[in-house]
Structure 1
Amino acid sequence: MTRSPALDAHHAPPHDRPVAHRRRWTVLGLLCLAQFMLVLDVTVVNVALPDIAVDLGLGRATLTWVVTSYTLCFGGLMLLGGRLADVLGARRTLLAGLALFTAASLAAGLAGAAPTLLGARVAQGVGAALLSPSALSLVTTTFDGEERAKAFGVWAGIGGAGSAVGVLLGGALTSGPGWNWIFYVNVPVGAALLAVLPALVPARAPRPARVDLPGALLVTGGTAALIYGLVEAGDAGWGSMPTLLALTGAAVLYAAFAVVERTSRAPLMDLTMLTRRPVVAGAFLMLVATALLISAFFLASVYLQHVRGYSALRTGVAFLPVAVATAFGARFAGHLVGVLGARTTAVAGMAVAAAGIAPLTRLSAGTGVYTVVVPGLAVAALGVGAVFVTAVTTALAMVGHDEAGLASGVVNTFHEVGGSVGVAVASTVAATGIEHATPGGFARAFTVAAVAAALAALGAAALVPPGKPRMTGGGHFH
């Protein structure tokens, strides 16, 4: 069998490797640090939300957009970011995304009003959408053979670590120098990476190709309209004209996106990918799992600080077992999928999540935080963490190496969109509780989450293919 050039490079003597390849583990560490900032920016904000609301005078709907505007742009534009990395070069796209994210973080920290903060969060999301797929592309091309699998393993650990550090860092910074510092902390890190990465990551010439900008705008606009409709329903009702117009607009934009993708010479997404059962199952699991996790962080943070009077730091400490449980569930699921299969693991994970959330459906002003709330959330996070891994292995199991990147991009997109939709729905259902600092709205929102997890368990039993999936090794969840 003829060995590929990549494999030959892998076995070549160290002195024959290019400079960037010799420093590949340094490059990986720096790329992981960049990705870490992006993951951190989801959970770190949740803990600071009550303080941001007080300082800037934000209502429930605007507070919801502080979270969803970032994940919306991150997820909605991620496929476009991956395409630009292919066309313009991963290095150029990475540095552009990193520069934008860093500048937007500074703007968010300096924000003195809602429009400035939301605009900065949108810019952060756009920067993240450029940075994340470019960084993963560089990881893929920097490593080969068994080292690539190890590099992906390191990359995968960022998710759990980012969640754990995010809740603690968010609490410590908000209780200390102030909520602005959850954004300021990105600035020196981003500036240092911008100074170091150009010398370590080689550039390549741009590759002329079409970029499906209309498709990217349509899918992002459709998701924005969907989230706006869900948030508006909490204030105006599900039958109100603004809600119905927004939801109808979302349907129209999604339909237009499908038409554009079918007729485009260089579509952003191969829609036939969504006709494959494993990919659809993986995307479904990722959407629900992320919606459950991010909405739980959102609800619990506001409940603990608004209803129970916890400080941001105390809230961050309370969340730590939840973040650790998520990482542990993800790690343990890798073994379970190989032994029990993806379907059994997915169903069990969703069932565990539903069981963990169930006690929170009876939330009151006197519910024990460390006897009911934290244990319930930790159990739910354990199940959700297992579903994350199952979603990726399911989506990539039956996909060839040449399509694994596309399938991975689809699943990653559903990950970010799931976070946006989950927070929007949770905010809408818990509207009265958030506005008036009463536990009833939070209990109703957790009831919806428990029902959603139980229904997702049934959906997983029907959607996820039987048997034990085998990873292609070409894609990855961020």
Structure 2
Amino acid sequence: MTDAADGAIRVASPAGRWIVLTTVLGSSMALLDSTVINVALPRIGEDLDTDLAALQWTVNAYMLTLAGLILLGGALGDRFGRRRVFVIGVVWFAVASLLCGLAPNAAVLIAARALQGVGGALLTPGSLALIQASFHPDDRARAVGLWSGLGGVGAAVGPFVGGWLVDGPGWRWVFLLNLPLAAVCLPVALRHVPESRDPEAHGRFDVLGAALAALALALVTYALIEVPVQGASATVVGAAIGGVLLGVAFVQVERHRADPMVPPSIFASRQFTAVNIVTFCVYAALGGFFFLSAIQLQVVAGYSALGAGTALLPTTVLMLLFSASAGDLGRRIGPRIPLTVGPLLAAAGMLLFLRVGPGASLSSYFQDVLPAVLVLGIGMVILVAPLTATVLAAVDTGRAGLASGINNAAARAAGLLAVAALPLLAGMGPEAYRDAGEFAATFRRAMPMCAGLLVAGSVIAWSTVRTTPEAARGCRPECTTHCGVTAPPLEPERQTAGRAGGT
């Protein structure tokens, strides 16, 4: 077998094609389950006879463990073998997917979704790290471009396939579809993908930091979701206070550890800190929008699951087709204008979506839905690639992988908190998704909130981001083809260069 340490594999070789195939299949499993779940939510609620809080947890349980552990997952691969950790992640994800597909009730489904997130945290950083470690330096950009482009195609067809499965054999097949993908991915990985490690990696991992971050997010999320059901009960208040205290403890632990998962020193860069705040605003808005809009289309406008998934498809297609061009634009004019204009356009798209109400229908798609989706998609195209580039340019090149991992985790945490908080802020009751009139009224209150987050991100970007093109030096063509609907893409070239916290 070819030695990965030499990085001698060529893309055009049979070994190279096998590596691209298995990494695309592995990362697609995690990507699909984070994008298609929204279209399945109304059917899950109906079949399991559960309330809105359980649907929120169905989304958030996955995001919680993925966001909390993705940095640690990359570090484990560097230390113990990237292929080994990737394979463990694929098996873990497949088993958790089987549990999701067989779940007899909401509690089991939520627990299985949390386990899925653990598997995703192991395989998501590992798939790209394997490409970087295996291919010849001259072929790495091409290999990453193939991985990114094929992953983008998967993201584009995911909601369509998910909707078709929900309307056809049922929502359980959204999860069971991962089993044949894993059945192909595993033998290919074991036979054709070489093992690799970071020789400078050590066995000291910031498990305490990862645990504190995940528990803090979990308690705050619990409090936000349960307030509409329990009110300001002792349990809810205690969870909120406990989450805040654990967050403070996480900061203190990271400040005093020799090898922290999130080194506080990285935030000494004012631009890095500011752009992560912009990232948080943008992906909180996107997370809330995609969660609520898929339900709005089905419960209020009367779309099928397939119709809802297809209706939102143009956003992903636009990103797949034009993100590279947006990256080129950012390199020429600097990131400040794209990071200001992009969120404003995306906000306008969300406000246009307010036209999708009880009077909307599949027959009026081109009048009611498509304009909103196109404006939203154009805004995302303009902002995602420069956002990633600016994060990478704000730190030393040796910390690019770490910076990318932090930015990716921040985006996922933002989506998690938005899905928890928006229904509360919009006044959605536990049974809102069962009543078209109630859900439509609360949706009209939620969309301006999402748009407001994007406007806040735009203002912060205009106020803090440097205007020079050099601020976008981290943006390369292979970075910009991957679809950033749920989180910014991870940094490809130096993804494996980080130490214990790198992804």
Could you state the TM-score of these two structures normalised by the residue count of structure 2?
Answer: 0.86
Alpha-carbon deviations, 1:108-141, whole Å to 9, x = none?
A: 1011101111111011100000111122211111
Aligned with residue 117 of structure 2, among 91, 104, 125: 125
Look up the equivalent residue of 2:185 and give its one-letter code: L
CA distance in 1, matches of 2:295, 2:125: 32
Look up the equivalent residue of 2:404 and give its one-letter code: S
Equivalent pair of 1:329/1:381 in contact (CA under 8 Å):
no
Partner of 1:270: 263
Summarize the Cα distance change of 1:25–1:279 in structure 2 as closer, same or farther, 3 Å threshold.
Answer: farther
Q: Does 1:345 align with 2:343?
A: no
Partner of 2:180: 188
CA distance in 2, matches of 1:437, 1:254: 38
Q: Does 1:455 align with 2:447?
A: no
How far 1:261 sits from its partner (Å)? Answer: 1.3
Partner of 2:473: 470
Summarize the Cα distance change of 1:20–1:217 in structure 2 as closer, same or farther, 3 Å threshold.
Answer: farther
SS of the equivalent of 2:312 reads helix
How far 1:21 sits from its partner (Å)? Answer: 8.2
Partner of 2:501: none
How far 1:242 sits from its partner (Å)? Answer: 4.6
CA distance in 2, matches of 1:19, 1:302: 42
CA distance in 1, matches of 2:157, 2:15: 27
Partner of 1:200: 192
Partner of 1:440: 441
Alpha-carbon deviations, 1:227-256, whole Å to 9, x = none?
A: 22222344456x665544333222211111
Look up the equivalent residue of 2:257 and give its one-letter code: S
Summarize the Cα distance change of 1:461–1:193 in structure 2 as closer, same or farther, 3 Å threshold.
Answer: same
Look up the equivalent residue of 2:406 and give its one-letter code: V
How far 1:208 sits from its partner (Å)? Answer: 4.7
Equivalent pair of 1:285/1:388 in contact (CA under 8 Å):
no
CA distance in 1, matches of 2:443, 2:150: 30
Alpha-carbon deviations, 1:66-100, whole Å to 9, x = none?
A: 11111111111001101111221111111111110
Aligned with residue 65 of structure 1, among 42, 57, 62: 57
SS of the equivalent of 1:23 reads helix
Partner of 1:41: 33
Summarize the Cα distance change of 1:437–1:19 in structure 2 as closer, same or farther, 3 Å threshold.
Answer: closer
CA distance in 1, matches of 2:4, 2:467: 34
CA distance in 1, matches of 2:418, 2:323: 20
Aligned with residue 296 of structure 2, among 294, 303, 306: 303
Partner of 1:426: 422
Aligned with residue 365 of structure 1, among 330, 343, 358: 358
Summarize the Cα distance change of 1:450–1:93 in structure 2 as closer, same or farther, 3 Å threshold.
Answer: same
Look up the equivalent residue of 2:455 and give its one-letter code: A
Matches within 5 A, 1:69-468: 69-157=61-149, 160-203=152-195, 208-236=202-230, 241-328=234-321, 330-361=323-354, 364-367=357-360, 369-430=365-426, 431-432=428-429, 433-438=432-437, 439-468=440-469
Look up the equivalent residue of 1:249 and give its one-letter code: G
Equivalent pair of 1:429/1:445 in contact (CA under 8 Å):
yes
How far 1:357 sits from its partner (Å)? Answer: 1.4
CA RMSD of aligned residues (A): 2.7
CA distance in 1, matches of 2:14, 2:150: 23
Q: Which moved more, 1:327-336 or 1:387-396?
A: 327-336
Q: Does 1:54 align with 2:53?
A: no
How far 1:54 sits from its partner (Å)? Answer: 0.5
Q: Which moved more, 1:453-462 or 1:135-144?
A: 135-144
SS of the equivalent of 2:348 reads helix
Look up the equivalent residue of 2:246 and give its one-letter code: L
Alpha-carbon deviations, 1:159-212, whole Å to 9, x = none?
A: 543332121011100111111110111001112211221112223579652111
Summarize the Cα distance change of 1:252–1:30 in structure 2 as closer, same or farther, 3 Å threshold.
Answer: same
CA distance in 2, matches of 1:422, 1:83: 28
CA distance in 1, matches of 2:177, 2:451: 35
SS of the equivalent of 1:322 reads helix
Look up the equivalent residue of 1:467 and give its one-letter code: T
CA distance in 1, matches of 2:292, 2:323: 22
**Share of identical aligned residues, percent?**
36
CA distance in 2, matches of 1:223, 1:21: 44
Equivalent pair of 1:359/1:376 in contact (CA under 8 Å):
yes
Q: Which moved more, 1:161-170 or 1:35-44?
A: 161-170
Unpaired runs of at least 5, structure 2? 480-487, 491-503
Look up the equivalent residue of 1:471 and give its one-letter code: G
CA distance in 1, matches of 2:287, 2:156: 13
Look up the equivalent residue of 1:373 and give its one-letter code: V
CA distance in 2, matches of 1:302, 1:472: 35
How far 1:419 sits from its partner (Å)? Answer: 2.1
CA distance in 1, matches of 2:436, 2:243: 31
How far 1:18 sits from its partner (Å)? Answer: 9.8
Summarize the Cα distance change of 1:320–1:112 in structure 2 as closer, same or farther, 3 Å threshold.
Answer: same
CA distance in 2, matches of 1:460, 1:218: 30
CA distance in 1, matches of 2:207, 2:237: 27
Unpaired runs of at least 5, structure 1? none
How far 1:268 sits from its partner (Å)? Answer: 1.3
SS of the equivalent of 2:36 reads helix
How far 1:400 sits from its partner (Å)? Answer: 2.8
Q: Which moved more, 1:361-370 or 1:444-453?
A: 361-370
CA distance in 2, matches of 1:163, 1:137: 20
Equivalent pair of 1:333/1:389 in contact (CA under 8 Å):
yes
SS of the equivalent of 2:170 reads coil
SS of the equivalent of 2:28 reads helix
Could you state the TM-score of these two structures normalised by the residue count of structure 1?
Answer: 0.90
CA distance in 1, matches of 2:292, 2:319: 17
CA distance in 1, matches of 2:414, 2:218: 12
Summarize the Cα distance change of 1:425–1:158 in structure 2 as closer, same or farther, 3 Å threshold.
Answer: farther
Equivalent pair of 2:297/2:356 in contact (CA under 8 Å):
no
Number of aligned positions between the proteins? 467
How far 1:365 sits from its partner (Å)? Answer: 1.6
Equivalent pair of 1:329/1:383 in contact (CA under 8 Å):
no
Summarize the Cα distance change of 1:284–1:149 in structure 2 as closer, same or farther, 3 Å threshold.
Answer: farther
Equivalent pair of 1:281/1:391 in contact (CA under 8 Å):
no
Equivalent pair of 1:426/1:445 in contact (CA under 8 Å):
yes
